Structure 1
Amino acid sequence: MGPLEGIRVLDLSSVLMGPYATQILGDYGAEVIKVEAPTGDLVREIRPARHEGMGAIYLNSNRSKDSIVLNLKTEAGRAALLRMVADSDVLLTNVRPRKMDRLGLTWEVLSEANPRLIYAALVGFDQTGPYAARPAYDDLIQGGACIPYAFQRAGQAPAYVPSAIADRIVGMSAVNGVLAAIIERARSGRGQKIEVPMFETMLSMILADHMQGLTFEPPLDAGGYRRHLSPDRRPYQTKDGYVCALIYNDGHWERFFRELGRPDMPASDPRYVSFAARMEHIDEVYAELGELMKTRTTDEWLALFDRADVPAMPMHSFESALEDPHLRETGFFEEFDHPTEGRLRQMAVPTRFSRTPARPEKPAPRLGADGEAVLTRMGFSDTDIAALVDAGAVTLPKRA
């Protein structure tokens, strides 16, 4: 009984950006209907997997949903979707706008079917600019949003963050937009179209840190937040591993040096004496700290940081994160039995609601597994469903 109970979402998205957004909405209690083409969502095929079409990334981006296979290239399929739109609150898609137009599913058509509909279009670029028709993928958007350049400015080879960070962040931004539109609709009674562009969304996030002197006209510098771009801002190597620590404010540094038996510091070194001084000499500060960290073990440093009340954590691997004592205590990772995929591990919903707890109630579905149930729930008769199947508009799973 999550906070979005009673909200129905049609999910016409695939791969990661859109499905991640709709998974969050589903986890929050919305009824999410994943509308898939007969070939299914491409991400289903990314292995590892126990069965075809049920890869791990798919499983971790499509829980809390039902799946229906609807061929929108058929007139019957398009008509069925518009009938579903009339009884839905949100339609979210990352299908390129031109393809939606070719399918006859423009905002004008959709809003005529349901004036209260919130239509969330996740696009690569703002649709008023010259890049509007270009395809967009996470790697491309990371590049355009200055992420590889930031690595280069930090003295490394240009690189992508080894995660689909643009897809995930833009997906969360889309959730924000949808929720804002739902709130506004409660006042106006009217739906609206939302466009969430990947390029501009990511650039606004990255440049919030790195605009720096480019904020001013004329510019005061070439941009870039010095602390983030310091070549030694990285996990610190210890005698036996790595530790992540941020000795940041004056109190952190004073207590850190006190634990080291150096109570004269930072006052005796002009590079450490104040926040401004440390920022001015951040490369030297991080380099010296990096050398110092090599003199003790990870556990010894973590104990020292704990005594000094300095923020620190071990550097987890994908496997060691599963054993983190805090995550164990909070139940962040939980095991469950998927009806077709066997024993699985999933992550909890991170956000906690005091009255309307949000939790995944449905595992990621097999392709088209819920088609008949979805159509029945939305008022289609047995005769209607049979006609859709005969027209090649709907594909239902074979009965056991």
Structure 2
Amino acid sequence: MPSFLPNFVRLAIVNILSNLMVPLAGLIDTAFLGHLDEIHHLAGVALATVIFNYVYWTFGFLRISTTGMTAQAVGRDDSNAVWLVALRHILLGLGLGCLIMLLQVPLRSIGFTLLSATPEVKASGQSYYNALIWGAPATLIGFVLLGWFLGRAQGHKVLLLSFISSSSNVLLDYVFIVRWGWGSAGAGWATAISQYLLLVVGLGLMVQEPCRPPLKTIASQLYDPLALKAAFTLNREIMVRTLALVTTFSVFTNLSSLLGTTVLTANTVMLQVVTLAAYFIDGIAFATESFAGLFYGQRATHSLLYLMQVAGGASLALGLSVAGGFIVFPDRLFGLLTDHQSVLDRLHDYVLWLLPVLGFGALAYMLDGYFVGLTQGRVLRVASLYSSLLGFAPVAIVAWQLHSDHLLWLALAVFMAARTLTLGVRVPATLDSDSISDPN
């Protein structure tokens, strides 16, 4: 048994619990808004969320790159580098967050012009947007803090921050929406304030870290052209990778809408299952990021091999278990998500697609985490682009031309398989000790 296994399991479990707080808070948000007399508040929030998903997912590299670079610095036992990664990314997150706020008017105009909805729904969406946009700096710096604690394998602090953010969001939702009647604007302010609470507590936890180098020492090293160039390159590669993934799922949803309302609804329910599974699998992927970076920094390639075996087996088992549960008990489990018989009938036809999508998807998520820990951004970018353009796109085009919903699911399965293959073929090279450059 690998010596790191107990710590890996503990970190994965804590990460899973932390991940599950995100959809739980979202469900409660939806419940508060969904019980208002005017349904346009809920619809408006859903509309504005499309804009924020693109904006914040674009800058998701702040969390991802921080985790990998921090974990490697921990593996090298380089305390200064650990803190430099945090400070550089915090400053970057602050700058990008302020830029988003400065550009909020053109972003709002472009976003709501491209989205179709009734005037009432758009007005509610803009009220939500106008409130939530002020939380941009806290949200982006929050990405950095979560990534930094993950890179240090401090999952309990990530769990604490997630709990503070989610619970305060729910509490403020109740006050602003139910008690004060602010509607969609209340939902926006609740989320923005909860992000600032996460920021304050996260910075407080950082300050309390032991063995913290003097601020003067690390401040004098902030401007290092080589280190800044490496961070910029990694962040750029991860941003392209993320945009490719988001675009693939967006195209899948748009093509589903062209096949009719019933197909769109059924595919949306299936994607909810995939998303739910991803929250569990990402717990393993995040732990893989932390340990891969640690072992890479230590130049311990034998431990990387064990990590691949443990993380790969656990991820695959988890993905197939979720798929198997919905295949064996489709009516009971899908019935929790919808009671429309026409949709349930469609889901019976689609449910077997969960096996390849979640099977390959579980391995792809794990491999993503592995290469994030190794900070090999180019591998991630190339794999995502190949999988989207050469895997998903050709099959999706045929599905659209033939109006075939099953071919559309085949396209998503091919996308997941292509990600697994394109990442998997790069693994052997990382297990060669000669491939790890000496950081000193």
| Higher strand proportion (structure 1 or 2) | 1
| Higher helix proportion (structure 1 or 2) | 2
Interval of TM-score (by shorter of Structure 1 and Structure 2): under 0.3
TM-score normalised by length of structure 2? 0.24
